[in-house]
Amino acid sequence: MRILALGLVCLFCCNAVRVERRRPRPIMSRRKNETDVQSKAAQNSCKAIPLDFVFVIDSSRSIRPNDYEKVKTFIINVIQFLTIGPDATRVGLLQYGSVVQPEFSLNNYTNKAEVEQAVRNMEHLASGTMTGLAIQYTMETAFTEEEGARPTNLHIPRIAMIVTDGRPQDTVEEPAAQARQVGIQIFAIGVGRVDMNTLKAIGSEPHSEHVHLVANFSQIETLISVFQSKLCGVSEMCEVVDHQCQHICVSSPASYRCQCREGFILNPDGKTCTEIDHCADGTHGCEQEFINTNDSCVCKCRKGYTLNPDGKTCKKIDHCADGSHGCEQEFENKDDSCVCKCRQGYTLRTDGKTCKNTDHCAYGKHGCEHDFMNTEDSCVCKCREGYTLRPDGKTCQSLDLCQTVDHGCEHQCVSTTDSCVCRCFEGYILAEDGKSCKKPECGHGVMDLVFVIDGSKSLGPANFELVKHFVNGIVDSLDISKTGTHVGLLQYSTKVCTQFTLGQYTTAQDVKQAVARMQYMGRGSMTGSALRHMFEFSFSVKEGARPNTPRVTVVFTDGRSQDDVSEWATKAKNSGITMYALGVGKAIEQELREIASEPDEKHFYYAEDFEKMGEIKKKLKSRICKDKPADENMCQCENVIMFQNQLLFVELSGPPYYADQGVGEVFESTKNFWSFRGKQRSSQLPGSWITSSLLSNMGCSSSSAQTVDQEKRPGTKPEESNGDTAGVRNGIIAEDAQTIEDQMQLPVQTALPDDLQPGTDDEAEAVLVALEAQEDLGSGEDLLAAMDPQPEPAAPEEPALEAPASAPAEISPKAEAAGRKLLL
């Protein structure tokens, strides 16, 4: 029994020992892989190449826990080939899912054991797959000097090893390209169903060396030997390949990369370098100049200046400040030295310090009229351009440039102070070329023309300029001169402004320049006030209006007047002013017709907009030229003719005869005009003299009278006119003359003494009184207005006085000539 019991005990003991031996075998198997790798690493140690090495591990939920452990084992096996230390390889690690979680930085651990323990302590995140975010963090944070990366100028290779098992949930192309651009060498390892294009977008080139794909996590161990050969290469890649780096070639495991010296940046080709321009952004703040250095933008100062302590502004160097210049009179600080100067009238000697008196013009005693010039021994007078020095050597006389240059003037050349200008003879105007002359379009017309221009705000500045061009276009067609047409201009809005009067300018050029200078008023539109101003002032003698000269007004407006226009337009027209009304746009037709003279179709013009003003200008120029105011309208004689037809019937061949007894009363009310009284007919002047004087006093020649139907008068027979067309004119019968002009001249053909003086006799008194009556008479219409209509009086009872037509019996030649002379 004892033997049996002892056998059972031994059996149990043996089984227990076997169980203890079997349990640890799996663990030993796993450790064996690490041990084998470590032993192999010991046998094949790496060449001591210092690296900054960061693992970027996918910790998404798609990785199962046992696969996650395999990744940790892979990391531990890789670091076995590395020599870890502060001056050797530095290792950092981060894992990512939906967020990035750094496990340890490059400067956290300084030996391999600490790194291995930190890897074993990692915990699975089991979240998303934000690979792009992880790459961005690696570039911006993990490889910074604060996190333990060494400065780039040490050329320590920066390596990132990214392990992932799925498709990223964000963009990886851009952050990966940026990371490679700043010099990070990326190894991309894909496990399982990872898209190869995604891995290539992440990894560095050549892809055959940096991109790897395995079927599952069990096969990831096969990459250890691959990375051993890459990380522990025995040769420098820069030494065995034609790297073509412009500045520096940096060898890295299985590859190389180009770097640039300090102050330069690598170009996109990865080979060449470009200098970094630290001044390019313009933030240097330098006052004068700047220069780009390797690491900054430095301010500089120009010659003669020095940099202030702020490193940006400059101050001038005062070379004269120490007083050692030795200048006799004055000195001036220059950029590089202190320079001596002399006062006016002195010049610097060759020693550069003392002065001598050489400016002979300095004391102002030269007496030169124009300019002077100091010479070596005297002060010499000079003349300005266009003048020459007289023999006295001091005064100047003008040069006639027209005699010395080819002026090309067609008519006249006029020398000015420093040039010569062309002028035209009277009756011509200067052409556009400034040399030739041409007849004005209306050169035969003489008038006093006043423009009344609307300057209201509805016009606008741009259209106002068009109106100014319009006015100057009319001016170009006129013969403007002292004896030709005179032009004045009013502008109105709420107020009326005289821009220039009729007597102000006597050349077309001066008028056009004045129009061009006219400033736009831009307010209301008081056309009635403008017409009143024109009527009361513009045609006054004070403003340059001339007697016996046709008066014409051109009114321009673009809208409704804010006051009444009819009253002053009517007064102007009744006074003999020819009124042209021009309207554009919103101008009111009724107002324009009220302004325009009769017939209004010849004096009223309208355009829909300012672009069509050219048509108005052509028509108006044509109308003004066609009317020929100087020839046909010089005498406004309708009133005189009416006066003659209704009041006077004079038989030129005999003594005066009255057809209306009221004429004596009319003359009584006009200061005894020509001493006519109803009861003193024996002292009357001849009727032909009266008619001729009336016509002449109204600005009319006798030839301006209109022919009327012949009427039979006492003592005259129709057949006695011998068929002459001038037999009866304006109610005056001519028997023995071919024309009324001939009869009108008969009373003044008697020779008169030149020393005739007014006396106290009746004849001289009649002439003086007639002169007074001239002022009160005005026109024949005025006389009619002062007289009440009366029935036709009977023929006088006494017999008509007989007198030859050539020598009236009722007045002496002396009195007749005196009256004729004074009235004309």
- Who has greater pLDDT, 134 or 324? 134
In a shared domain, residues 671 and 605: no
Q: Which residues contact 373 (CB under 8 A, 6 or more apart)?
A: 361, 379, 380, 381, 382
Range among 124-138, 590-604, 775-789 rated most confident = 124-138
Mean pLDDT of 542-569: 92
- Who has greater pLDDT, 663 or 280? 280
pLDDT at 471: 92
In a shared domain, residues 675 and 808: yes
* Cβ–Cβ under 8 Å, residues 217 and 191: yes
Sign of CA dihedral 781, 783, 788, 789: negative
Q: Could you tell me the pTM of the whole model?
A: 0.33
CA–CA distance, 313 with 285 (Å, rounded to integer): 8
What's the token pair of residue 226? 């691959």
pLDDT at 605: 87
In a shared domain, residues 543 and 666: no
In a shared domain, residues 616 and 660: no
Q: Taking 50 as the threshold, does the pLDDT of residue 623 lie above it?
A: yes
Distances (CA, A) of 45 to 49, 50, 55, 163: 11, 14, 21, 24
Q: Taking 70 as the threshold, does the pLDDT of residue 707 lie above it?
A: no
What is the extent of the structural domain holding 763? 638-823
Q: Is residue 395 part of a domain?
A: no
* Cβ atoms within 10 Å, residue 60: 22
In a shared domain, residues 687 and 555: no
In a shared domain, residues 489 and 549: yes
Q: Is residue 659 part of a domain?
A: yes
pLDDT at 818: 46
Phi and psi at 132, nearest 5°, equal -60, -40
Q: Mean of the per-residue pLDDT values for the chain? A: 74
What's the token pair of residue 59? 């910790």
Mean pLDDT of 416-433: 77
pLDDT at 477: 83
pLDDT at 166: 83
Q: Is residue 767 part of a domain?
A: yes
Q: Taking 80 as the threshold, does the pLDDT of residue 612 lie above it?
A: no
Q: Is residue 422 part of a domain?
A: no
Q: Taking 50 as the threshold, does the pLDDT of residue 391 lie above it?
A: yes
In a shared domain, residues 80 and 150: yes
In a shared domain, residues 562 and 649: no
Note if the bond before 151 is cis, omega within 30 degrees: no
Sign of CA dihedral 397, 403, 405, 409: positive
Q: Taking 90 as the threshold, does the pLDDT of residue 213 lie above it?
A: yes
Mean pLDDT of 75-99: 92
- Who has greater pLDDT, 34 or 742? 34
Q: Taking 80 as the threshold, does the pLDDT of residue 688 lie above it?
A: no
What's the token pair of residue 595? 């302004």
Q: Is residue 248 part of a domain?
A: no
* Range in 76-90, 148-162, 197-211, 249-263 with the lowest mean pLDDT: 249-263
In a shared domain, residues 65 and 91: yes
* Range in 4-13, 45-54, 233-242, 633-642 with the lowest mean pLDDT: 633-642
pLDDT at 356: 80
Q: Phi-psi category of 696—alpha, beta or left, where left has phi over 0 and alpha has psi -120 to 50?
A: alpha
Domain end position, chosen among 584, 617, 632: 632
- Who has greater pLDDT, 92 or 352? 92
In a shared domain, residues 627 and 655: no
Q: Please tell me what DSSP assigns to residue 336.
A: S
- Who has greater pLDDT, 530 or 440? 530
Q: How confident is the model at residue 133 (pLDDT cuts 50, 70, 90)?
A: very high
Domain end position, chosen among 609, 632, 655: 632
Q: Is residue 597 part of a domain?
A: yes
Q: Is residue 68 part of a domain?
A: yes
CA–CA distance, 634 with 217 (Å, rounded to integer): 122
Q: Taking 60 as the threshold, does the pLDDT of residue 709 lie above it?
A: no
pLDDT at 806: 40
In a shared domain, residues 710 and 581: no
pLDDT at 261: 83
**Residue 568 sits in a domain of what CATH number?**
3.40.50.410
- How many independent structural domains does the chain possess? 3
Mean pLDDT of 67-92: 92
In a shared domain, residues 628 and 642: no
pLDDT at 9: 53
Q: Is residue 293 part of a domain?
A: no
pLDDT per residue as tens digits for the range 717-767:
433 333 343 333 333 333 343 433 343 333 333 333 444 444 444 444 444
Domain end position, chosen among 214, 234, 254: 234
